[in-house]
């Protein structure tokens, strides 16, 4: 997605060879118009697939997910980072190892929001080691749902999450794939 790559180049900041900061339009301040165009792209890439639900994780997945859900006419469920012990209804949960924060945390979804047979599109802001996507997949599968696609805004192609998930047979559409970064320099995959 050329507009997205241009925006990452202009407003993103490579803090190191591994960490990209895009807090001015995606992760802290959000550009709603860009989110809307991102949603158009996801709709285009997944136009042949009929999902009935989008699954994402709070907080940065929510904006691209709801814009896409609006265009597809389907609900959006966001996994919560609350400790499962605070949820007093039945829930599904899984562990995420955050690459950026270098720590583990649980994400959870109340079981009533994942139904057997749901045809789910996962949407998230980043794909790095794939841990968040794998946790969302685990949650969906606990509920008997199918992951029919994974939509990623920015994939860090030099980390193994994308490769791992594609080898497992998941369909991933990433709107920008970064193959290399160094301080203040970003190289996209063609």
Contact set with a copy of itself (CB under 8 A) = 23-25, 28-33, 35-36, 58-59, 62-63, 66-67, 69-70, 73-78, 80, 109-110, 112-113
Q: Which residue has the tokens 């599109």?
A: 121
Whether the CB-CB separation of 80 and 108 falls below 8 Å is answered with yes
Give min distance, CB of 88 to a copy of itself, in A: 10
Q: Which residue has the tokens 């969906």?
A: 140
Neighbours of 183 (CB within 10 A): 10
* Eight-state DSSP code of residue 89: S
Which of 102, 83, 125, 103 minimizes the C-alpha distance to 133?
A: 125
Residue 66 vs 165, nearer CB to a copy of itself: 66
Give min distance, CB of 15 to a copy of itself, in A: 10
Residue 102 vs 190, nearer CB to a copy of itself: 102
Residue 25 vs 99, nearer CB to a copy of itself: 25
Give min distance, CB of 76 to a copy of itself, in A: 5
């Amino acid at each position: 997605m050329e507009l997205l790559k241009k925006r990452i180049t202009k407003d993103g900041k490579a803090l190191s060879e591994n960490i990209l900061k895009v807090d001015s339009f995606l992760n802290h301040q959000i550009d709603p118009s860009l989110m809307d165009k991102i949603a158009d792209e996801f709709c285009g890439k997944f136009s042949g697939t009929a999902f009935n639900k989008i699954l994402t994780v709070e907080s940065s997945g929510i904006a691209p997910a709801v814009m896409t859900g609006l265009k597809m006419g389907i609900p959006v469920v966001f996994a919560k980072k609350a400790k499962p012990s605070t949820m007093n209804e039945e829930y599904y949960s899984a562990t995420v190892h955050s690459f950026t924060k270098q720590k583990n945390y649980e994400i959870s979804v109340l079981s009533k929001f994942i139904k057997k047979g749901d045809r789910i599109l996962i949407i998230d802001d980043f794909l790095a080691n794939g841990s968040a996507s794998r946790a969302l997949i685990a949650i969906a599968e606990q509920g008997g749902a199918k992951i029919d696609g994974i939509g990623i805004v920015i994939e860090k192609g030099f980390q193994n999450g994308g490769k791992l998930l594609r080898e497992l047979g998941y369909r991933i559409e990433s709107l920008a794939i970064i193959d290399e970064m160094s301080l203040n320099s970003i190289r996209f995959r063609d």
